[in-house]
Amino acid sequence: MKKYIIILGLLFVLFACSEQEAALYDTAHRQLFISTEGRMDTAYISFSHHPGENTLKVPFIVTLIGEPAKVDLEYKIQVIDSLTTAIVGDYVLPQPPVFKANRMQDTLWIEVKKEKLEEKSYLLKLTLAENENFKAGYYYQQTAQLRYDNMISCPLWWDNTIVEMYLGTFSPEKYTAFIKVTDETTLEGKEPWEMRLLALELKNAIAASLADNDPDNDITEAGGAPMIIPCY
């Protein structure tokens, strides 16, 4: 009798283990959603902030609801054509995107190209789609959009502190001069003393350009207006 009880016990354990293992590969309850900071679903990037770069990659964080899989699983992403102004060939989506094993989050990388961009902004609207591996997650976090261009625009780091203490009011001409003179594209993450040195480098370059008696070399605002740097 004990022998049969032991055998039944072993069968029960094996069955339970098989069910648990199957659950780890069961995709019926796995869902994905796009994690967005502050519930904002739009990323913005400008090639003008990355001189010399012809391609840029933009990350979106994809989050899993459910048990992590023990194997890599493909998921599906689609372009919403009716809401997209980006031109096919100017962007590259992973084919197919893969959610890595044993993770609760993974990164979807979207690549955009500068080569054919005109002087306007482009919008790429994406949505997650169900497949054999994943269902849809939170309804309002199924989509994401990427806005990109090659126009010189005010970067986010050029805030009131930068305006008042370092570089003054933004202009395309000033930002272009800043990049050319300092070989930097941003003051983000820099210490105050570093920002001051870079601002003074631009200020000195402006003064030198006006002192060489060659108007062609003058660093000015549009129309020849003086370029003001408030830093001392």
Domains, the chain, ranges and CATH?
31-149 (2.60.40.1740), 160-224 (no CATH)
Which tens digits make up the pLDDT trace of 83-114?
A: 999 999 999 999 999 999 999 999 999 999 99
Q: What is the pLDDT of residue 37?
A: 61
Using a pLDDT cut of 90, give the percent of the chain over it: 64
Give the span between the Cα atoms of 12 and 14, in whole angstroms. 5
SS3 of 85, please? coil
Distance of CA 64 to the CA centre of its chain: 19
* Residues whose CB is less than 8 angstroms from the CB of residue 48 and which lie 6 or more positions away in sequence, other chains included: 149, 150, 151, 152, 153, 175
Could you tell me which residues are beta bridge partners of residue 45? 148
- pLDDT score at 52: 84
> How many residues can be counted in the chain?
232
pLDDT recorded at residue 156: 86
The answer to whether residues 59 and 108 touch, using CB atoms and an 8 Å cutoff, is: yes
pLDDT value at residue 96: 94
pTM beyond 0.85: no
The Cα–Cα gap between 111 and 60 comes to 11
Segments in the chain below pLDDT 70: 1-28, 37-41
Give me the pLDDT at residue 115, please: 86
Residue 56 CB-density burial (10 A; 0-12 exposed, 13-18 middle, 19+ buried): middle
